Amino acid sequence: MSLAQSSNAIGAVTRVLKERLDARTGRSVSIGRLDQASGVGEHLNLFLYEIAFDPHLKNTPLNEGEKPPVWLVLKYLLTAFESADDSDSPRAHEILGSAIRAIYQDDLLKLDGLVANTKPLESNPGELHVTFDESPADVVAKLTQGADETPRLSIAFQVRPVMIAPPEPGNYSLLVGVDYVSPPALTSEPVGLDVIPSMGPFIAEISPGGFEVNEVVTLRGTDLHLANLSVALGPVDLPVVMQRPDELRFKVDSTFIGAGGISAGSHPVAIVQLLPGTGKKRRSNAVIGNLVPTLNTAGVPQASIVITPGTSGTPDKAHATIDLGGTLLGNEHDDVILALHRDGTVRKMFDVFSALPTPPVPLQSARQLVMTAGSAVEVGEYRLILLVNGQQAPQSPEVRLRAP
């Protein structure tokens, strides 16, 4: 989902809360200050009275090289009414209790099954959490000042973290030391390490830390020569191609990766030993391996290029369709970012792509970006930077966005 829609996240949270409370309490929920409450009969009033910045996520970006989003804490006041004005009767207290129980359910802010527009919240990287706040009488009195200054028994709670993404593209750069004209070189031979004996396979190091499909990866540690070993990359078991007491190599085989349905990203890597006597499997300690996407090709159909002439000295702009080819380019559940890089800076960043075909292409080998007129860039040549779940492809092919 587009990060741009996160600007509507505050309103989306309020709508989700209203819909959930409507359904779980059986009462209508009005939204606004208490002196503007418009409900009749038994109802609840939801008042967003304060927005704070989340101190735990301050300056935390979604991906390295990006400007951090604004992380918010939304504070609400919920008041129950038996009638249009009566909020302090035993019946109103019962209604408030049912609302408290509804808020206390763990799936209050789950987005599935809702009628409300949840698109501004779908790019939120983590689940939204609800916690109760203290609501002393003096705080409630301050919040109810206005045309209706009657003290109202209310409950306060907060929702966090709510993300509003920045409009600027990420400050990505091309990888250092990579020749983008020719294919990336294979990983150099590893050097030997001193090892300390231990019981069972133990991983001390993984090299390289980032690897592509069909690449051979080296693990160093102790007792890596034992029989019946395989390597688990996340949920996928991969074959061992070489063993020594202090070194083991495995291949990120495309057949196993495709069958496992795994995506690019950071995954735990562990050595798995099959115990023939019992058929059980014993796992070593885990290290983190970064499975990176491979961006082999980037094509721009000439018929898709649209040139918008500049005016008053401004340069011409272009938008087009960009067809990507490679491996592990992401699916609809992955966080995929494509940046257009030129003259040392990112000129435009995209995170919304065309819908994937059904059934999906093997090994996530194709994606398509359809630029709109609103996302046009200056005509010229651009390097593409692709990130899937925070992992950057080592290739950066060039595209030409100009008239033939």
List the domain boundaries for the chain. Answer: 3-164, 202-291, 294-401
Q: Which pLDDT belongs to residue 206?
A: 96
Q: Is the per-residue pLDDT at 368 higher than 80?
A: yes
Q: Is the per-residue pLDDT at 126 higher than 80?
A: no
> For the ranges 31-40, 262-271, 273-282, which has the lowest average pLDDT?
31-40
Q: Is the per-residue pLDDT at 243 higher than 70?
A: yes
Fold of 202-291: Immunoglobulin-like (2.60.40)
Q: What is the pTM of this model?
A: 0.70
Q: Tell me what percent of the residues of the chain surpass a pLDDT of 70.
A: 92
Q: Which pLDDT belongs to residue 387?
A: 95
Mean local confidence (pLDDT), 131-160 = 76
Mean local confidence (pLDDT), 101-117 = 83
Fold of 294-401: Immunoglobulin-like (2.60.40)
Please provide the CATH number assigned to the domain covering 3-164. Answer: 3.30.2000.30
Q: Which pLDDT belongs to residue 392?
A: 95
Q: Which residue has the higher pLDDT, 328 or 182?
A: 328
Q: Which pLDDT belongs to residue 395?
A: 94
Q: Are domains 202-291 and 294-401 of this chain identical in fold? A: yes
185 pLDDT tier (thresholds 50, 70, 90): low
112 pLDDT tier (thresholds 50, 70, 90): confident
Kindly state the DSSP code that residue 134 receives in the 8-state scheme. Answer: -
Q: Which pLDDT belongs to residue 65?
A: 72
- Cis ω for the linkage preceding 208 (within 30 of 0): yes
Q: Which pLDDT belongs to residue 146?
A: 54
Q: Is the per-residue pLDDT at 147 higher than 60?
A: no
Mean per-residue pLDDT of the chain: 87
Q: Is the per-residue pLDDT at 323 higher than 70?
A: yes
Q: Which pLDDT belongs to residue 149?
A: 60
Q: Which residue has the higher pLDDT, 383 or 182?
A: 383
Q: Which pLDDT belongs to residue 202?
A: 92
